[in-house]
Structure 1
Amino acid sequence: MTDTHYALLAIAMVLMVVSILVPLAERFRLPHTVLLAIAGMGLGFLGSWIIASDIKLGALGAAFVGLDKLEVGTDVFLPLFLPPLLFTAGLTIDVRRLMDEIHAVLLLAIVAVLVCIACVAGVVHFATGMDIVVCLLLGAVVSTTDPAAVIGIFRDVGAPKRLSILAEGESLLNDAVAIAAFGLFIGILASRSVADPAAVVAEGDPTSALGVFLREFVGGLVFGFAMARAAMVILARLGESDAAIASVTVSLTYLCFVVADRYLHVSGVVSVVMAALTVAAYGPTHLHPRQWASLRQVWAQLEFWANCLIFVLASMLAANVLLKITWLYVWAVLAVAVGAFTARALVVFGMLPMLEAVKLVQPVNKQYKAILVWGGLRGAVTIVLAMVAAGDERLPENIRDFIALSAVLFVLFTLFVNATTLGLVMHLLGLDKLSRLELAMRDRVLALSRVNVTRHLHQIIRQHNARSELIVADPASAGEVEVEAMPDDLALPLDERVKIGLVTLSTHEKELYLEQFEQQILSRRMVAMLAARADRLIDTVRDKGVEGYEEWVEEVSQPDRGFRLALWLHRRFGLERMLTDRLADRFEVLMVSGSVLSELAAFNVNSISDLLGADAEAALAEVIGNRQKAVDGALRALSLQYPGYFEAVEARQLERAAIRFESAEYARRLREGIISREVYDDLREQLSSRRGAISQRPPLDLGLELANMIGRVSLFASLDREAIVAVSKRLRALVALPREKIIAVGGPPNAMYFVAAGEVTVHTRTVTVTLKEGDFFGEMGLLSSQPRNADVIANGYCHLLVLYRKDFNQLLARRPEVRVEIEAVAARRDAETSSATQAAS
């Protein structure tokens, strides 16, 4: 047999073994990597024994010979295995949720890595006496975390999703930071072998090293983002070919890693991570849902193969040297464990509360913090770095062996100690026990299920004229079956039942968004934003109940940072595009929210009432109703300002629904054999053309072209075109936010305002006046130079025209007819205000 045949048999055997371990891991509730490590060491011991004994086992023996021959050089580990591991981790993360928790993620990913490196280096140096730089290198190798086990625990106990985001984001970003630190320290160690002492000083200079680190890190970010954006342009033009899409992303991964590292001399690891995050952010909005799901499945398969091969090969290597381990490595591994978990506890229990105190991070339960500490397992990335260090011939052999063996043994320590005891820790913390609330819900669901089953049986028996003795329940109860009341010891107060209902409704809300996306009613960009909002709502309701729900509704109703930035750019520089996009987003979000809230109201009546009681259903209906009123009011305000755009968006939504119904009808006709495949394909192509025609949102005209707006203001309605143009040169456009105070009592009289769209309320000491489109205010201050005597507050989004004092004086000097008109209107308003004041007194 040739070496190729031996290698093929070896790979086939490994893939078979690691696949069989998957159901075993689920059965014993252990991370798959624990069984991979056991299998790898078992294969290592068994293979050494079979080869040494020269036992003839046919193909099985040849497979073990192939394993012995299958020696992947350590210089291949990094470029071959690391990119798919990093890219898959970045591809599967929810980027929008990651940005919500970015402060905590950066703390865990950057600060925690640095603290871990320092703690591990200090403890190992104290315990073994090894060179401090060597200890720092070991700290960098072991500072990466594998979140798989702890995320599984969070999922099992129903922990808030943001905790999974914390674990995933930490693992992804700390890989990049740790690998960059790894390159820094290994470069310092390698520089010690050069002959020129000046070169050693230059390489070891901390300032120079920090500069190189920052250059490589920032350069990797920029290059990875640019490559991913270019790839997204290609992906959107590949049609229906899932294979081609997957191939482009594989190419992107290795191009980012190799080109960045070898040609641009920036961090290839950071480049891959940034590329993955960019694809994760833009992929769902550029690819069909089926294509996106297929792409993620391909990368999950690649990650599975890479992870399995790394663990098996590394564990086989560890098995071959386990008998040669000295007390040095025992002390080193214990020191690494003490340093790593001490550092993690310092960050989670010491630094994370600081972010909670300043409200940069939502509070994390102490039990979950304990799981975050104990669940800081090490995985494939640590092994890859250990193998790279072991194969770096620039380092002395004793240092290579020390780094590689200590790191691999620490990985095995976390797998066999931490991973296997996570369940016990969860039990001790009480996370595996049903709460009083969950027990009550379980019993309530069981009671309802029995009632529904009995009702269905009665219906079936009546339909088939079956004998009454076949009825499971009491024959006397053949009519209506009443639901048993909750036991007194498990009866829940109203606020707890309402909280359960809100969590249920919030979860169903997210499902409705995803359903509309699958039906192609909702755009990909919108579903990403709304689904992320729904996740935040679920977490908030779990923490604070009704109060949290209302706080969330208030928060999402306020302009976010992006909108405020767009508004500032428009006010400062007259840039309209970003503000237009934000207002268009608001239109679509309000319309979708309105339809989803209607479905939630029906769901509350049909599904929540029996489960939680009529009083809880009524309380939930009130919460939903208040939110519906807010959404309807905001949508009505926008539709009044932009009726044309509102009609265009509504027509677009209806057209999407029509296309969805037609598509389902064509598919049904095809299944029934009424139309042929050729006719079906032609009909689908026509639908695709219609879908493409409405894929872009209709343009939203802010109505900020000054000449057109001036013509709608009653004050200037009688002016000729030349006068309007002259006025337009003096006016400046302004968009006011809902409840924004445009003028305050006692403020300087530096401008007058014209309402082009929307409405404002003027509050004086005696009267309150509402001004709408075509009205104006603030003119008395300009004419009399007296401080403001009223507050003017925007009711919703208002588009205003502003005439500042300097421009006003120039306008009146050049256009006397404008002065006459303004003074006449001001006199009439002054008289009306005086009459209203006398009547009130």
Structure 2
Amino acid sequence: MTDTIYALLAIAMVLLVVSVLVPLAERFRLPHTVLLAIAGMGMGFLGSWIIAAEFKLGALGDAFIGLDKLEVGTDVFLPLFLPPLLFTAGLTIDVRRLLDEVHAVLLLAVVAVLVCIACVAGVVHFATGIDLVVCLLLGTVVSTTDPAAVIGIFRDVGAPKRLSILAEGESLLNDAVAIAAFGLFIGIIASRSAGDPLGAVEGDPTAAIGVFLREFIGGLMLGFVMARGAMVILPRLGESDAAIASVTVSLTYLSFVLADRYFHVSGVVSVVMAALTVAAYGPTHLHPRQWTALRQVWVQLEFWANCLIFVLASMLAANVLLQITWLYVWGVVAVTVGAFSARALVVFGMLPVLEATKLVQPVDKRYKAILVWGGLRGAVTIVLAMVAAGDQRLPIDVREFIAISAVLFVLVTLFVNATTLGLVMHLLGLDKLSRLELALRDRVLALSRVNVARHLQQILRQHNARTEGIDVDPASAGDAEVESVPEDLALDLDERVKIGLVTLCTREKELYLELFEQQILSRRMVAVLAARADRLIDTVRDRGVKGYEEWLEQISRPDRGFRLALWLHRRFGFERMITERLADRFEILMVSQSVLGELAAFNISSVADLLGSDAEVSLAEVIGNRQTAVDSALRALSLQYPGYAESIEARQLERAAIRFESAEYARRLREGIISREVYNDLREKLAERRGAISQRPSLDLGLELAAMIGRVSLFAALDRETIVAVSKRLRALVALPSEKIIEVGGPPDAMYFVAAGEVTVLTPTVSVMLKEGDFFGEMGLLSSQPRSADVVANGYCHLLVLYKKDFNQLLASRPEVRAEIEAVAARRVADNQSKAAS
């Protein structure tokens, strides 16, 4: 029998075993990697015994022989297994939420890696006396983390979504930083072994930092460029999920190999950046079904890579354990102390600094303890250990020490930390329902029993059966059950309103996802809105109604992207970014208006029964306030851009019509009224209509400018030719809520016309509100005196700006306009004087 057959039998056996372990891990509530390590070590011991005893077990014996022959070279571990692990981690992360928690993620990823390397190196060097640079290399190997177990716990206990994002982002980025540092220290030790006593850069720390930054930043740039190139290709591959997946596999390995071998930058960082770029742009470039299929392919690839790494490494560890010495035992104890001390220092010592400076939201100390104790090590650490073990440039004792210490540390975290996470949860009280959850559980149970009894009575009456066996009165049993809640579990109004808000926010996110599945909402918009809902849920859990209102006020204000787009528009006249932002605001407001209407109905139909009528009234008020704000903002935008508003509304209606027609065709097919061929033809026509409206209408500020000019009373009487001439002198300006457009004492450089929205003129003696069609700032231009009042925008306001030079030219060419402006200015001066006198 050839070695190929042996290898195929071995791989088949490994895949079968690791798959069977999945339900076992769920049954015993253990991380899958714990059972993988046990299975790998078991197969290692069993295979050695079967081969040594020369047992004849047929295909099973040949599979163990294949495992013995299946020696993956350590030079293959890094390029073969690491890229899919990193790419999957980056592809499945929520990039928008990651950016929200960027300060905490960078602390846990970058700073924590450096602290871990230093602590592990210091403790191991002190405990064993081994060379400090070797200890630093060991620190880079063990500083990578596996967040799977911690994320699972956070999900089970209902922890805020941002904590899972912290764990995922930390693992992804610290892998990149640690592996880049790993390559640096391997190069130092290899150079010393080759005869350079100081190594390539060891003698010059500045050079070492320069090499690290060059490789890291170069990897980021290359990964981004290659991923953007891939995103140009992917949408052009049609409906082929296999072709799309193949391009991403090619991207993964090309970004690693090109970076590492040709551009001499960090291949790991390049892969991570490529994955994050695809995660950010993929949902908006691919059909939702294709995006889901792509992620499933990468989850499968990651499962195979992770399982093979653990099994093969655990088999090697089984042989190592038979030859272990006290040096390695003492070394792994030192590594454990150093690694977890570093993690505790970062989580409990440095993270509170970010909390105090408001850069991150506070994290419960119990969750911090889970973050520390759950700092497990996994496949990436094993890959780096195997790479170090097979690097012939390193002395044999260094290779053995790094590989054995790292693998043993992985086993310690799996067999000690992972298996006791449940116990730690119990000690911290995370496995127990809170008083709010207990009360909510009892209310749900009581109401569910009432509803079941009501439905049973209806069924029995329909069948003319007797209902005496059901001793629950559906008209009153619900109230009796709810009122019988024990006093220590009774909830006050504020607590019930908080529960209701969390429920409504969760329902809000579900509605966004439903709109996306119905293809009414784009992938990019659903990503924005679902992320907002997640943040809103976290905020309500932390601060209740006050947090809800504060967050809504925060998202109503322009974000940094909007301000950047506004600055580019004002400074250089770039319209694309500001029009995209305004179009996003249109779509978000329209979707929010629809969803809030459904939330109001959901509050009456579902939340009121659960939490009581008084809570329902309070929640209705909160939702009503938000609806009022959304309606007002949408009405203002629609007045400012009526043409665009009509286009967006027509697009939304067409999407809804297509959805209803699709459901109707499916029903006709199920009932046998139409054939499959007719159904497919109808679906193709719907696909053509859906494709025609797939792109959002563009908002052209230039086309809206003429309409804005027409709303200004001063220009209403002008003919079209004059309006065109005037439009060449005017410039559209978007003012943000509460923005000070004119300030007292400022230079008289322009006058402003209110095309849409409202502004308030504030003088020391009086305040005046100006609306659409009014103008201001003319008095300073006529008198050449500094500004005498502040002018503040009331909400988003669209203005037309006429600068001083154009103002003088316009008044010289249009005497009637000059006369009107001077008349208005004179009336204002007189009004101000009379009000000041009174």
- Shorter chain as normaliser: what TM range? over 0.9
1:492 corresponds to which letter in structure 2? L
Once residues 492 and 336 of structure 1 are traced to their aligned partners in structure 2, the CA distance between those partners, rounded to angstroms, is 48
Deviation at 1:10, TM superposition (A): 1.0
Task: Give structure 1 stretches of 5+ with no counterpart.
Answer: none
Aligned to 2:494: 495
The answer on whether the counterparts of 2:447 and 2:478 sit within 8 Å (CA) in structure 1 is no
1:421-468 CA-partner distances (Å, limit 9, x unpaired)? 111111111111111111111111110111011001100000001123
Residue matched to 1:78? 78
Distance 2:200 2:244 in 1: 48
Counterpart-to-counterpart distance in 1, 2:86 and 2:70: 24
Single out whichever of 803-812 and 392-401 deviates more from structure 2.
803-812
Aligned to 1:228: 227
User: Which amino acid letter does the alignment assign opposite residue 106 of structure 2?
Assistant: L
Q: 5 Å matches for 1:529-548?
A: 529-548=528-547
Q: CA deviation at 1:765?
A: 4.8
CA contact (8 A) 2:500 2:607 kept: yes
Alignment partner, residue 193 of structure 1: 193
Paired amino acid for 2:303: F
- Give the TM-score, by structure 2 length: 0.96
Aligned match of 2:23: 23
Shift of the 472–714 alpha-carbon distance from structure 1 to 2, 3 Å rule, reads: closer
Determine helix, strand or coil for the equivalent of 1:394.
Answer: coil
CA distance in 2, matches of 1:657, 1:814: 52
Provide closer, same or farther for how the CA distance between residues 665 and 706 of structure 1 changes in structure 2, counting only shifts above 3 A: closer
Q: 1:201 to 1:274 in 2, by over 3 A?
A: closer
Match of 2:454 in 1: 455
Q: CA deviation at 1:799?
A: 2.1
SS in 1 for 2:477: coil
Counterpart CA distance in 1 for 2:732 and 2:238 is 44
Which range moves more in the overlay, 149-158 or 768-777?
Answer: 768-777
**Cα distance in 2, alignment partners of residues 115 and 479 from structure 1:** 64
Q: CA deviation at 1:376?
A: 0.4
Q: Distance in 2 between the 1:87 and 1:481 partners? A: 55
Q: In the alignment, is the contact (CA less than 8 A) between 1:6 and 1:63 conserved in 2?
A: yes
In the TM superposition, residue 14 of structure 1 has moved relative to its aligned partner by 1.0
> Helix, strand or coil for the counterpart of 1:192?
helix
Alpha carbons 1:704, 1:733 under 8 Å: kept: no
Q: Give SS of 1:468's match.
A: coil
State whether structure 2 residue 481 is matched by structure 1 residue 482. Answer: no
Partner-residue secondary structure (3-state), 2:732: strand
2:188–2:200 contact (8 Å) kept in structure 1 = no
Deviations 1:105-130 (A, max 9, x none): 01111000000000000111111111
Partner of 1:49: 49
The residue correspondences of 1:272-283 to structure 2 (distance < 5 A) are 272-283=271-282
Q: Displacement of 1:718 after TM fit?
A: 5.4
Shift of 1:798: 1.8
SS in 2 for 1:545: helix
1:691 aligns with 2:690: yes
CA separation in 1, counterparts of 2:397 and 2:691? 64
What stretches of structure 2 of length at least 5 have no aligned partner? none
Moved more, 774-783 or 150-159: 774-783
Taking the TM superposition and a 5 Å limit, the aligned residue runs for 1:706-785 are 710=709, 713-717=712-716, 731-765=730-764, 767-785=766-784
- 373-382 vs 480-489, greater mean Cα deviation: 480-489
SS in 1 for 2:273: helix
Partner of 2:164: 164
Q: Secondary structure at the match of 2:733?
A: strand
CA contact under 8 A between 2:223 and 2:255: conserved in structure 1?
yes
- Quick check: 1:753–1:802 contact (8 Å CA) kept in 2? yes
Range that drifts further, 223-232 or 645-654: 223-232
> Contact 1:781–1:788 at 8 Å: present in 2 too?
yes
TM-score by length of 1: 0.96
Deviating more after overlay: 486-495 vs 716-725:
716-725
Compared with structure 1, are the counterparts of its residues 722 and 503 closer, same or farther at alpha carbon in structure 2 (3 Å cutoff)? closer
Equivalent residue letter for 1:158 = G
- How far residue 773 of structure 1 moved from its aligned partner, in angstroms, is 2.9
Distance in 1 separating the partners of 2:123 and 2:12: 43
Tell me, yes or no, if the aligned pair for 1:537 and 1:552 is still in contact at 8 Å: yes
Counterpart of 1:91 in structure 2 is 91
Native 8 Å contact 2:453 2:474 kept in 1: no
Question: Deviation at 1:234?
Answer: 1.9
On the 8 A contact 1:188/1:204 being kept in 2, the answer is no
One-letter identity of the residue aligned with 1:482 = G
**Does residue 183 of structure 2 align to residue 178 of structure 1?**
no
Match of 1:665 in 2: 664
The CA distance in 2 between the partners of 1:732 and 1:653, in whole Å, is 31
Q: Distance in 2 between matches of 1:511 and 1:261?
A: 43
Kindly indicate whether the alpha-carbon contact (under 8 Å) linking 1:567 and 1:735 is maintained by their aligned counterparts in 2: yes
CA contact 2:740–2:792 (8 Å) conserved in 1:
yes
**Distance between the aligned counterparts of 2:331 and 2:376, measured in 1?**
17
Aligned residue in 2 for 1:349:
348
Task: Classify 1:720/1:678 alpha carbon distance in 2 versus 1 (closer, same or farther; 3 Å).
Answer: closer
Take 1:240 and 1:733, find their aligned partners in 2: how far apart are those partners?
43
Partner of 2:570: 571
Deviates more, 1:239-248 or 1:756-765: 756-765
Alpha-carbon distance in structure 1 between the residues aligned to 2:429 and 2:785: 68
Aligned to 1:515: 514
Rounded Cα–Cα distance in structure 2 between residues aligned with 1:340 and 1:244: 43
The 8 Å contact of residues 390 and 399 in structure 2, kept in 1 or not, is answered as yes
Cα deviation for residue 288 of structure 1 reads 2.1
Task: Compute the displacement of 1:90 (Å).
Answer: 0.6
Alpha-carbon separation, structure 2, partners of 1:603 and 1:760: 37
Q: What is the percent sequence identity of the aligned residues? A: 85
| Letter of the 1:636 counterpart | R
Question: 1:752 offset after TM fit, Å?
Answer: 2.0
Aligned pair in 2 of structure 1 residues 448, 8: CA closer, same or farther (>3 Å)?
A: same
| Other-structure match for 1:6 | 6
- Native 8 Å contact 1:191 1:203 kept in 2: no
Give 1:231's aligned amino acid.
Answer: A
Give the 3-state SS of the residue equivalent to 1:295 in structure 2.
helix
Give SS of 2:282's match.
helix
Distance 1:178 1:762, change over 3 A: same
Query: Contact 2:146 / 2:377 at 8 angstroms: preserved in 1?
Result: yes
1:153 is aligned to 2:149: no
RMSD (Å) for aligned C-alpha atoms: 2.1
**CA–CA separation in structure 1 for the residues paired with 2:720 and 2:513:** 52
Q: CA deviation at 1:789?
A: 3.8
Using the TM superposition, name which of 721-730 and 631-640 deviates more.
Answer: 721-730
Cα 1:775–1:149 shift into 2, 3 Å:
same
